[in-house]
Every structure is written in C-alpha cells, then in structure tokens.
Amino acid sequence: MAYYFQAKQLCVGYQNQPLIQNIEIELKKGEILTLIGPNGAGKSTILKSIARQLELLGGSVLLEDKNLQSLSGRELAKKMAVVFTKRPHTELMTCEDVVATGRYPYTGRFGVLSAKDHEAVQEAMEAVHVLEFRDRDFAKISDGQRQRILLARAICQQPEILLLDEPTSYLDIKYKLEFLSVLQELQKKKGLTVILSLHELELAARVSDRILCVDGAFVEQVGTPEEVFRPGHLSKLFQITQGSFEEESQEMELAAVKGTPEIFVIAGNGSGRNTFRRLQREGIPFAAGLLWENDLDYPAAKALSSRLFSAPAFEPVSEELLEQAMRCMDGCRKVICCRESFGTLEDAQKRLLAYAKARGLSERDAQKYV
C-alpha cells in the first residue's frame, strides 16, 4: 500500500519532555484525518510537530516516502500549507496582502507576484467568499473572517497537504458548512490531503476519512468515524460526567432531572426533543414514551427523562409495557402529547413486505444489491 503521508514512531513534546509517544499515522493521498481529544490532550502539539514548528523528539514524518526534515523551507511550503489559530503579525496589511503571502514559495526573491499568482489569490478568495474584504485591514476584521482569510491564504499556496488547527472554531454554522464543503471539493478535485483538529465532534463525524483520538499521553485510537463514534467511547475519552453525549447521533444533552415523573410526554419521530429539553431547563422530572429505540426522539428521551418506556426497534409494543406506562401516567399531574398524528408508516411497510413476499422477493439478501 502506497501511503502519501506517514508518521512513524513519532514522539512530540516540549523542552525534550515527551508528551505523546509512538504516534503512527498512515494516509493515502486525498484523505482527511481529524485529530480529536480533550483540551490540552496534545492535538496542536502533534500538528505543530508535523509542520516542523516544533522539533520532533523522536520518529519521522514522510511525504511520499521522503523525510520531511530533508526538505528546504521553500520545498516544504510548496507541499504543505498550515493554518494555525495564532493571529499572524501583520502591520498595515490588507486581507488581500495576507492571502497573497501564500504565494511566497512561488515568487522570486522580492516577492513580486506574477499574473498567475494574482489569479491564484483571486481564485482562493472566491472559493471562501472573502473577496468583499480584500481591501480591509487584516488587523481589524472579526475572528471568523480571519479564519476564512487564512484558509484562502493556505488554498492559494496550492499545497498537496493542508494542516489546520481548529479551523472552524470561530465560524458560524453557514461558514462551518461552507468550509467543510471547500475542503471536500479540494480533496475530490485536487487530491488534497488534510490533517486538522476539531472540537466539533459532529463535524469530525461528517468530514473525516480517519479520526485520531488523542488522550493527553497517547493516541488512544486511529479509526474510521464508524469505529470511533461507537457507543460510550467518546464519553469516556472526554471523561463526560455532567450530562451526556450520544456517539451515534452526536447529540449532547445536559443532565436529566431526577425524581418521580410529574409530566408524561407522548412523543415520537422527533416531535418530543424540544419539549424534553424545555422540561429539563425548568427542572421538571418527566416520563417519555412509548418509543422505539431507533426513534429520533429516543437519544434525548434516554438522556433527559427520569423514566422511559421504550421497545426494541420494530418490535411490537407489549401489553405489559403499555400497562406500565399507564400506571406511570396515573402518578403524573399532566400529559403532553407532542404528536400531531400517529403514523401509518408501519402499516404501509407491513403491506409492502406482504407484497414483496407474495412476489417471492422478501427472502433475498439486501447486501448483495448494494
């Protein structure tokens, strides 16, 4: 297997004191790797070490089997662009000037931009929609605007690999999505390889080909999002003790209000989540049901209700469970029904299955057709 990027037996840290050892990373060209982990776990330290801003305490970083240490600064800058959170020192520079500094590996000694360089600057600014700031003083723009300008600078550097430290932390939801779309586009069109750190786990789950979990002293796991977002794993990695995080939906909830339910919430299909959260904010213990365990309301109900009546997905709800829910309801002072209608989907699905069976189709293995 030919890897584009490899970190072998990497040891990183400060003042000759190892922080994290035995880091192993293997990425194919065009893959996106996300570093996640608690505050102070070592994500930035790993990124800075890969970017040669921190001296390696051990091991090596290879780009297409070539040791990164053997490259000159200019050679490295043609291959690797870096976007770190620190505000660069820029006196009286416009945003466009800052983006244009991304061209320095390509310009001559005096940094004069050619027509091709100007084109690259323009294209990069267009890609992240920052042309409107081109003449603004870089020192006087917002944190989110700065993050986008620095991304434009990295893009116009036309690197093969991009390193980003918490690139989305100041972006609003529109620009977070736009940022990830730009990354995906560069990945698909130009084969750009990306290593970034993120605090937004829901973004990590969506954009990453691989995720590296850092735990302060070691790399706890490197895996696909499916492997990393397994039930209970990240709650443990981040040592969540107040409230909860549901790995599969990437939803987080504050702690449930404990106590005998005062209100019974009939919910389902996502109709109840906001009511559960309102009751939690008001400090009212509540029961929720009846829900299948794959219902959209289930993660929030499980995290926030003091009593939950649920059944395994698509299994018939037993009379016994219904009876228990009714007894619980007897003790409540109020019932809130969040559902406006009760679905007919299950009946329709049953009919669909019966139809399939009548045609002799239902026994076939769906896996064969994907």
Ligand X SMILES: Nc1ncnc2c1ncn2[C@@H]1O[C@H](COP(=O)(O)OP(=O)(O)OP(=O)(O)O)[C@@H](O)[C@H]1O
C-alpha 341/C-alpha 352 separation (Å) is 21
Q: Which of 7, 33, 44, 203 binds ligand X (CB under 6 A)?
A: 44
Q: Is 92 helix (H, G, I), strand (E, B) or coil?
A: coil
C-alpha 12/C-alpha 258 separation (Å) is 44
Q: Which of 27, 32, 36, 41 binds ligand X (CB under 6 A)?
A: 41
The dihedral sign for the CA sequence 285, 288, 293, 294: negative
For ligand X, which stretch binds (CB under 6 A), given 40-48, 127-135, 250-258, 286-294?
40-48
Contact 60, 67 (CB under 8 A): yes
Instruction: Between 162 and 332, name the residue whose CB sits nearer to ligand X.
Output: 162
Task: Tell me the sheet residues that pair with 193.
Answer: 161
Contact 297, 272 (CB under 8 A): yes
β-pairing, 32-36 vs 17-27, is unpaired
CB atoms within 10 A of CB 262: 16
C-alpha 10/C-alpha 57 separation (Å) is 8
For 48-73, give the secondary structure using H, E and C.
HHHCCCCCCCEEEEEECCEEHHHCCH
Q: Is residue 43 a contact residue for ligand X (CB under 6 A)?
A: yes
Q: What's the Cα-to-Cα distance from 192 to each of 28, 51, 365, rounded to whole Å?
A: 10, 16, 37
For ligand X, which stretch binds (CB under 6 A), given 37-45, 61-69, 116-124, 254-262?
37-45
Tokens (6 digits) for 212: 């590296």
Tokens (6 digits) for 126: 């267009």
Instruction: Between 44 and 187, name the residue whose CB sits nearer to ligand X.
Output: 44
**Neighbour-count burial of 363, counting CB atoms closer than 10 A to its CB (0-12 exposed, 13-18 middle, 19+ buried):** exposed
Instruction: Between 121 and 201, name the residue whose CB sits nearer to ligand X.
Output: 201
For ligand X, which stretch binds (CB under 6 A), given 42-50, 112-120, 152-160, 245-253?
42-50
Residues 9-28 that bind ligand X (CB under 6 A): 14, 19
Instruction: Between 84 and 133, name the residue whose CB sits nearer to ligand X.
Output: 84
Instruction: Between 84 and 298, name the residue whose CB sits nearer to ligand X.
Output: 84
Q: Which of 39, 242, 344, 367 binds ligand X (CB under 6 A)?
A: 39
Q: Which of 22, 24, 40, 274 binds ligand X (CB under 6 A)?
A: 40
**Which residues, including other chains, have CB under 8 Å from residue 13's CB and lie 6 or more apart?**
19, 20, 45, 57
For ligand X, which stretch binds (CB under 6 A), given 39-47, 76-84, 125-133, 176-184?
39-47
Q: Is residue 42 a contact residue for ligand X (CB under 6 A)?
A: yes
The string of DSSP letters for 106-172 reads TS-TT----HHHHHHHHHHHHHTT-GGGTTSBGGGS-HHHHHHHHHHHHHHT--SEEEEESTTTT--
Q: Is residue 147 a contact residue for ligand X (CB under 6 A)?
A: no
C-alpha 338/C-alpha 272 separation (Å) is 6
Instruction: Between 37 and 167, name the residue whose CB sits nearer to ligand X.
Output: 37
Minimum separation from the CB atom of position 20 to ligand X (A) = 8
Which positions from 45 to 74 touch ligand X by CB under 6 A, shown as an x/- string? Answer: x-----------------------------
Minimum separation from the CB atom of position 235 to ligand X (A) = 17
Count residues binding ligand X (CB under 6 A). Answer: 10
Which positions from 80 to 119 touch ligand X by CB under 6 A, shown as an x/- string? Answer: ----------------------------------------
Minimum separation from the CB atom of position 322 to ligand X (A) = 47
Instruction: Between 35 and 155, name the residue whose CB sits nearer to ligand X.
Output: 35
Q: Is residue 225 a contact residue for ligand X (CB under 6 A)?
A: no
Instruction: Between 31 and 165, name the residue whose CB sits nearer to ligand X.
Output: 165
Q: Which of 37, 225, 261, 299 binds ligand X (CB under 6 A)?
A: 37
User: Where on the chain is the footprint of ligand X (CB under 6 A)?
Assistant: 14, 19, 37, 39-45
